[in-house]
Amino acid sequence: MKPSPPARNETRTGLLCSFVAYSVWGLFPLYWPLLEPSGAVEILAHRMVWSFAVVALALAVTRRWGWIRPLLREPKRLGMVALGALFISLNWGVYIWGVNSGHVVETSMGYFINPLAIIAFGVLVLRERLRVLQWTAVGIGVLAVVVMAVAYGKPPWLALALAASFSTYSLVKKKVGLGGLESLAAEAAVQFLPALGFLLFLGARGESTFVSAGAGHALLLAATGLLSTVPLLCFGVAAVRLPLSVLGMLQYLAPVFQFALGLTVFHEPMPAERWAGFVLVWLALALLTWDALRTARISRTELRAARAKAAEQERADMPDTTGDVATLNPDVTIAPGTPEATAQGR
Lowest mean pLDDT among 75-79, 244-248, 311-315, 319-323: 319-323
Q: What is the pLDDT of residues 60-102, one digit of tens each?
A: 888 888 888 888 888 888 999 999 899 999 999 999 999 999 9
Helices (H) and strands (E) in the chain, counts: 15, 2
pTM of the entire structure? Answer: 0.77
Greater pLDDT, 225 or 277: 225
Say what the pLDDT of residue 274 is. Answer: 82
Q: What is the pLDDT of residues 231-280, one digit of tens each?
A: 888 887 787 777 766 776 778 888 889 999 999 999 998 888 888 888 88
For the chain, report the end-to-end CA distance as a whole number of angstroms: 53
Q: What is the pLDDT of residues 157-178, one digit of tens each?
A: 998 999 899 888 878 887 777 7
Bridge partners, residue 164, by sequence? none
Q: In whole angstroms, what is the distance from residue 8 CA to residue 145 CA?
A: 41
Domains of the chain by residue range: 9-307
Distances (CA, A) of 91 to 44, 137, 161, 218, 326: 10, 24, 8, 23, 76
Say what the pLDDT of residue 197 is. Answer: 95
Query: Is 340 a residue whose pLDDT tops 60?
Result: no
